[in-house]
C-alpha cells in the first residue's frame, strides 16, 4: 500500500509505501530488490515537483512461505525481485493518478538520449513544467512547451534533431513543426491517459516518468491549505 496525493516528487517526498511478501528473503535481498525497483518506479513519479522531509518506502519479508532463505545471489531472487518491481510500479502509478486535482495520467518517455541520466533529466523537465502540465489539462498539443522543457533540462539536445509525439500524434520532427489535425489532437488529449514521447536522436538511452496535469482544483486545494 502507498500514500501520495500532493507534494510528490521522490526521493521520496511525503510518500509512504509499505510492501510485504511471504517469500523468505534475507535482509540483503530485501534491500537489493527494493533499491532496484524504487529507482525506476517511485523515483520516476512527480505530481507537482515538490519534495518534503517526510517519506518512507519499506519492503518487509515474513518468510511465511517457508523454504530456504533467499539471498541476492540465489536463482530464486530474480523472480521475487521482478515481482517487487511490478508492485512498486503499480503503486507508483496509483499515486500519480491520485494526485491533487489530477484529471489526467501522463506518461512521458524520452528516447535517443546520450545517457539514461540525460533521458531522466529531459523527462522530468517535461513532467514538472507547469506550462506542459496546464497545456495537457487544457487539451492543447503545444509541442513548443515540450521543446522548451527539454531545452532547459540540462540534457544533451540537438535543436535540429528531436521529435515529439503528443498523445500519439506526431507534432514535431527534426526540431521543426509538423502539420497535424488540431481537432484530432484535442480529442486525444481529452482522454484520461496521455502519453508524450520525445526522441532526442543523440544516443541510445531512454527513461519514462509518470505525472499528471495541473488543474484549477490543484490550485484551489493548495490555495485553501491553511484557510
Over residues 75-132, the pLDDT tens digits come to 999 999 999 999 999 999 999 999 999 999 999 999 999 999 999 999 999 999 999 9
The pLDDT assigned to 56 comes to 86
User: Do 174 and 73 reside in the same domain of the chain?
Assistant: no
Task: State the angle between helix axes of 77-97 and 27-39 in degrees (0 to 180), rounded to the nearest 10.
Answer: 40
CA–CA distance, 188 with 180 (Å, rounded to integer): 12
CA distances for 138 relative to 31, 168, 193, 198, angstroms: 42, 17, 14, 20
CA–CA distance, 39 with 51 (Å, rounded to integer): 16
User: Do 156 and 204 reside in the same domain of the chain?
Assistant: yes
CA–CA distance, 32 with 92 (Å, rounded to integer): 18
User: Do 91 and 111 reside in the same domain of the chain?
Assistant: no
Q: Name the residue range of residue 18's domain.
A: 2-97
Q: Where in the sequence numbering do the catalytic residues fall?
A: 14
Query: What's the mean per-residue pLDDT of the chain?
Result: 94
What's the order of all strands across the beta sheet hosting 56-61? 2-3, 16-21, 56-61
CA–CA distance, 132 with 144 (Å, rounded to integer): 9
Phi, psi of 136 (to 5 degrees): -65, -45
User: Do 136 and 72 reside in the same domain of the chain?
Assistant: no
User: Do 153 and 197 reside in the same domain of the chain?
Assistant: yes
**Structural domain count, the chain:** 2
Better-predicted residue by pLDDT, 53 or 192? 192
CATH number for the domain that contains residue 182:
3.10.20.340
User: Do 112 and 217 reside in the same domain of the chain?
Assistant: yes
| Sequence-ordered list of residues with C-beta below 8 angstroms from that of 80, at least 6 positions apart, any chain | 21, 23, 25, 29, 33, 70
User: Do 128 and 217 reside in the same domain of the chain?
Assistant: yes
Task: Point out the domain boundary residue: 97, 115, 141.
Answer: 97
User: Do 115 and 191 reside in the same domain of the chain?
Assistant: yes
- The yes-or-no verdict on residue 50 having pLDDT over 80 is yes
The pLDDT assigned to 13 comes to 63
Closest CA to 64 of 23, 19, 18, 20: 23
Amino acid at each position: 500500500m502507498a500514500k501520495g496525493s500532493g507534494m510528490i516528487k521522490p526521493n521520496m517526498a511525503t510518500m509512504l509505501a509499505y510492501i510485504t511478501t511471504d517469500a523468505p528473503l534475507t535482509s540483503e535481498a530485501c534491500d537489493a530488490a527494493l533499491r532496484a525497483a524504487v529507482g525506476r518506479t517511485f523515483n520516476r513519479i512527480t505530481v507537482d515537483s515538490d519534495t518534503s522531509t517526510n517519506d518512507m518506502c519499506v519492503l518487509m519479508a515474513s518468510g511465511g512461505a517457508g523454504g530456504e532463505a533467499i539471498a541476492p545471489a540465489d536463482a530464486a531472487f530474480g523472480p521475487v525481485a521482478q515481482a517487487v518491481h511490478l508492485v512498486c510500479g503499480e503503486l507508483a502509478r496509483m499515486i500519480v493518478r491520485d494526485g491533487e486535482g489530477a484529471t489526467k495520467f501522463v506518461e512521458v518517455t524520452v528516447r535517443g538520449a546520450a545517457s539514461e541520466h540525460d533521458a531522466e533529466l529531459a523527462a522530468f523537465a517535461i513532467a514538472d513544467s507547469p506550462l506542459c502540465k496546464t497545456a495537457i489539462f487544457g487539451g492543447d498539443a503545444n509541442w513548443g512547451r515540450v521543446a522548451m522543457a527539454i531545452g532547459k533540462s540540462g540534457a544533451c539536445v540537438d535543436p535540429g534533431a528531436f521529435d515529439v509525439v503528443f498523445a500519439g500524434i506526431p507534432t514535431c520532427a527534426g526540431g521543426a513543426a509538423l502539420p497535424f489535425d488540431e481537432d484530432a489532437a484535442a480529442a486525444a488529449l481529452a482522454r484520461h491517459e496521455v502519453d508524450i514521447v520525445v526522441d532526442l536522436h543523440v544516443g541510445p538511452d531512454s527513461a519514462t516518468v509518470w505525472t499528471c496535469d495541473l488543474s484549477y482544483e490543484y490550485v484551489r486545494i493548495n490555495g485553501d491549505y491553511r484557510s
